[in-house]
Structure 1
Amino acid sequence: MTDSVSHLSLDATLDLAAQLGLDYVEFATGNWSSSPHVNLDVLLEDAAARRDLQLKLADRKLRISALTCSGNPLHPGPAGVEQDAVTRKTIELAALLDVDRVVLMSGLPGGPGDQNPNWIAVSWPPEATKVLAWQWDSVVLPYWTDLAGFAEQRGIHKLCVELHGQQVVYNAPTLLRLREAVGPVVGANLDPSHLMWMGGDPLAAVEALGDAIYHVHAKDTRVEPTAAVRTMLETVSLLTDDPGSRAWNYVTLGTGRGEPFWADFVAALAKTGYDDVLSIEHEDTAVEPVAGVRASVDLLRRVTRS
């Protein structure tokens, strides 16, 4: 995931991937990413720019695993319209680049009349379940039915929805609910780090999702001692200068869950038939990005070869 080294130029990023012996890179095209390595509009409009990017990749024996446009196209305000536009342009660009997967999030609407998103994470008081039902029936399913059709018309048959907090799809049951309603164009981008901080079991999620797993982010979470008092519901910024003040933090692979977990995770994926990309997403603010990516590559090589 090239945003992991967003401070590097495109050429330096691709050189790093080649030096590390990687096969794929994943580019972010906008929304919550600054899209440091590709310009969505330029690539859409300029065939020469697309050819130049593809040549840069081919020269280093790299391919694109997915384009990523994570954002909230269901936001009830103007941001939703803007982020939906980026989502649809990303799908169009994927088709032009012969990339078969787009990674995104489900989005999160508000309730009736709300100006901001509203994540319903508990079933009480009773109005919470009423809002949740309204979100799915009135916003989520109509939007995703339309988006799935839009993607399939352009030859994109894998929309990889990331299970993430503050989204209507945040665990295996909600992903499967969306998939059942919309069809197999919807699958999972499985990032175990989010399940870790939400208290889930990534290995159980792999088993539950099975062949609905279309793409995987390799990212780790460390639960901090303060979680015993703070709980896992955390509002202190991930960018704090004092990570120990938080209940949990994203960390370099193997420093949250140890190496045995990652060996089990890879084995669980293989058991479902997944033999595909493990896209390293480095978001450890305490570790220099290139060093963190290198350490993550080393760990994944060890556990995939064992």
Structure 2
Amino acid sequence: MKIGLVSDSLSHLSLNDMLQAAQEMGIDGVEINTGNWSSAPHIDLAALLASSGERRAFLDASEKRGLSLIALNANGNPLHPTDGERLSAVVRDTIRLAAELGLDKVCLMSGLPGGAPGDRMPNWIVSSWPPETQQILTWQWNEVLLPYWTSLVRFASDHGITRLCLELHGNQIVYNVPSLLKLRAAVGPVVGANLDPSHLMRMGADPIAAVDALGEAIYHVHVKDTSINPTRCATTGLLENGPLEDIAARAWSYITLGYGRPEAWWKDFC
């Protein structure tokens, strides 16, 4: 198992300082955020795509510190009804760059479309009633998600990328084990999971059971913890839309590893 660092976790540092910090922490490699929901402080997609010299210098910066380049990450919502085209362009450029850098995997999110043609905001359906919820899901999957991912898988394969790692994340149409396996069954094994247990915890799922269920469909792992606030959760459940920084008032919060689940749990997970 390799221990990596997501570059945005040190977004306040320059590329060289971020890599130096990773080396000093004994990290094996780095995952570089390329854009979309990231400001991409450590990479210039256009410059690296345009210049083999820039790509060589970028790789050298990691290699001279004994760090591997684990993956590129273009997390965002490429299915956004008004901004999806721009976000999707970053996804495709990231796939192109991954191929040029000799990588075989890219971390992404599935995206979340609107609920019907003409919608301007994404629509996340997590209930079964009233009946229009099922009509929305059918439209989202059949008219938006499957055509997009069928095309993207073909594009990735044409560029030698064998693993598109989808983070199972809230407010995405692929957010849990069943939805990931459903998409994978439809478009093929290029699609797999980027398993982050914190998101499953906050939805009430068991990440260790998810590991067993996903098996070889796990292509990448992000490690974050989630703290459940039992007093708040007792009256609100796990559905939470309060500000992330208002930890005391929330049913759950993302938290430093080990402050949510005990060490013994993490040993089982890893």
TM-score (norm 1): 0.84
In structure 2, distance between residues paired with 1:230 and 1:38:
41
In structure 2, distance between residues paired with 1:50 and 1:215:
24
- Alignment partner for residue 257 of structure 2, among 253, 257, 261? 253
5 Å-filtered alignment, 1:1-306, equals: 1-77=6-82, 79-113=83-117, 114-224=119-229, 225-238=231-244, 240=245, 242-266=246-270
Percent identity over the alignment? 57
In structure 2, distance between residues paired with 1:14 and 1:237:
32
Task: Count residues with an aligned counterpart.
Answer: 263
The amino acid across from 1:251 in the alignment is I
The amino acid across from 1:37 in the alignment is H
Unaligned runs of 5+ in 2: 1-5
Residue 112 of structure 1 aligns to a residue whose secondary structure is: coil
Displacement of 1:19: 1.0
The amino acid across from 2:236 in the alignment is R
* Deviations 1:27-84, CA, capped at 9 Å, x for gaps: 000000111111111111121111111111111011111100011111111x100000
Residue 27 of structure 1 aligns to a residue whose secondary structure is: strand
* Deviations 1:140-173, CA, capped at 9 Å, x for gaps: 1011000000000000010001101111100011
Residue 218 of structure 1 aligns to a residue whose secondary structure is: coil
In structure 2, distance between residues paired with 1:192 and 1:22:
20
- State the partner residue of 1:271: none
In structure 1, distance between residues paired with 2:181 and 2:43:
32
Residue 244 of structure 1 aligns to a residue whose secondary structure is: helix
CA RMSD, 1 decimal: 0.9
Residue 200 of structure 2 aligns to a residue whose secondary structure is: helix
Displacement of 1:234: 1.3
Residue 38 of structure 2 aligns to a residue whose secondary structure is: coil
The amino acid across from 2:71 in the alignment is A
In structure 1, distance between residues paired with 2:37 and 2:243:
16
In structure 1, distance between residues paired with 2:190 and 2:78:
18
The amino acid across from 2:262 in the alignment is G
In structure 2, distance between residues paired with 1:198 and 1:69:
23
In structure 2, distance between residues paired with 1:87 and 1:195:
24
In structure 1, distance between residues paired with 2:233 and 2:58:
44
Residue 226 of structure 1 aligns to a residue whose secondary structure is: helix
- State the partner residue of 1:302: none
Displacement of 1:231: 2.0
Unaligned runs of 5+ in 1: 267-306
Displacement of 1:230: 2.6
The amino acid across from 1:234 in the alignment is E
Structure 1 stretches of 4+ moved >2 Å: none
In structure 1, distance between residues paired with 2:240 and 2:265:
24
Residue 166 of structure 1 aligns to a residue whose secondary structure is: coil
- State the partner residue of 2:3: none
TM-score (norm 2): 0.95
